[in-house]
Amino acid sequence: MARSENEWGFPTRAQIASAAGASGYDVVGDIITLPEFIQSEFSRGESVRGRKFGKVRAVKLKPLKTTWTRPGTAYQTDHEMDLAASLPIAAAFRELLELKGDRYYWRADYKKVFALANEELYEALLNKVRTAKAVNALGADTEYWTQASNIVLRAKDEAPLSTSLKS
């Protein structure tokens, strides 16, 4: 049986899902694409309405000429955000994971939690970018990582439980 691969030579998302079990893969796929989700929400979402995301130092000065979607995701973006700025926010969402048996599940829907926390996360990003000497220093800023985790934990308390954990 021939194995189909994507354009980079890796197994397709469907192949990984069937090999890992759909529920286990959903969490892994979500975790891997969290930085793109955050970038997309800040670039096109409600959290920065009325503000210029392209003016933030952690974002490339020029908006992308066309809307870009990372292959394998549905997250569209008009800007390119530095990973040093988005990874601490993405890592904060680990607080929403819960081990049940031998698999991890979302304790709360990360998209709903982000919707509740997006303005506060954006403000934390803006404050850190203003004081950082270089944008790549954000990735090593423990205060920024802790602040993002605390914001996500507060928002989690307001979000409904995930349906996979109610049973």
Compute CA distances 148 → 14, 16, 62, 138, 158, whole Å: 32, 30, 26, 12, 16
Question: What pLDDT is recorded for position 2?
Answer: 46
The pair of structure tokens assigned to 92 is 């904060």
pLDDT tens for the chain, residues 1 to 167: 444 555 555 555 555 555 444 445 578 888 888 988 888 888 776 666 656 665 566 677 556 677 878 788 888 887 788 888 889 999 999 999 998 888 889 989 999 999 999 889 988 988 888 888 888 888 888 999 999 999 999 999 887 776 555 54
